[in-house]
Amino acid sequence: MSEIGKLFVIVGPSGVGKGTLVKHLMNRVPYLFLSISATTRSPRKDEKDGINYYFLKTNEFEELIKAGDFIEWATIYGNYYGTLREKVEQKLSLPTDVILEIDVQGARQIKENADKAVFIFIKPPSEEELKERLRERGTETADEIEKRLSIAIEELKSESEFDHVIINDNLNEAIDRLVDIIIKYRESNTIN
């Protein structure tokens, strides 16, 4: 398949603000397609199937793995998460850039398999602040937050594997940096 669009992979620990940054990015930059992942975790209050995620049963997800329908997938906090191949490849064959918002395990798989992708690692100003954001978001129990934090500490060691690092401290500055990176790639039309 010939790819015209570029693949931008936004990666970083849970609670760092990836979703928030991407939401602003989508409002600021045209011709971007945000891939909707599939997951077996339960929807949070206000999350909708087909909008936030495709919420699947475990056996449905495993069927898709077997069929080779994921570009990448990972088990995260005891649930499956994965990027569906069809939509992403279809969009990349058009002049549309694609955004993936995924974890470190998934980003590593994309790195191995996709020859052209740009990886942007989002990190928190501190572990304390990350914990605070997870607490304030209020979507996980205290136990789940602890689990996410211990995985986050491991994930934060991987930043040097990625092309760009953004510290999401001041939200507006972080949004500007993200927009800037994407616009610069578009202008230069080169990857790496």
Backbone phi and psi for residue 99, each to the nearest 5 degrees, phi listed first: -110, 130
Contacting range for ligand ADP; rule: CB under 6 A; set: 44-52, 53-61, 113-121, 132-140: 132-140
By the rule CB under 6 A, 40 interacts with ligand 5GP: no
Q: Does 168 bind ligand 5GP (CB under 6 A)?
A: no
Which of 6, 18, 108, 177 touches ligand ADP (CB under 6 A)?
A: 18
CB burial readout 46-56, b (16+ within 10 A) else e: eeeeeeebbbb
Q: How far apart are CA 140 and CA 27, in angstroms?
A: 27
User: Which of 56, 42, 55 is closest to 144 using CA atoms?
Assistant: 42
Query: What's the one-letter identity of residue 184?
Result: K
Contact criterion met (CB below 8 Å) for 84 and 38: yes
What is the per-residue binding string for ligand ADP in 96-115, x denoting contact by CB under 6 A?
--------------------
In the complex, which residue's CB is closest to ligand 5GP?
Answer: 106
Residue 20 binds to ligand ADP (criterion: CB under 6 A)? yes
What residue ranges bind ligand 5GP (CB under 6 A)? 14, 18, 37, 41, 72, 74, 76, 81-83, 101-103, 105-106
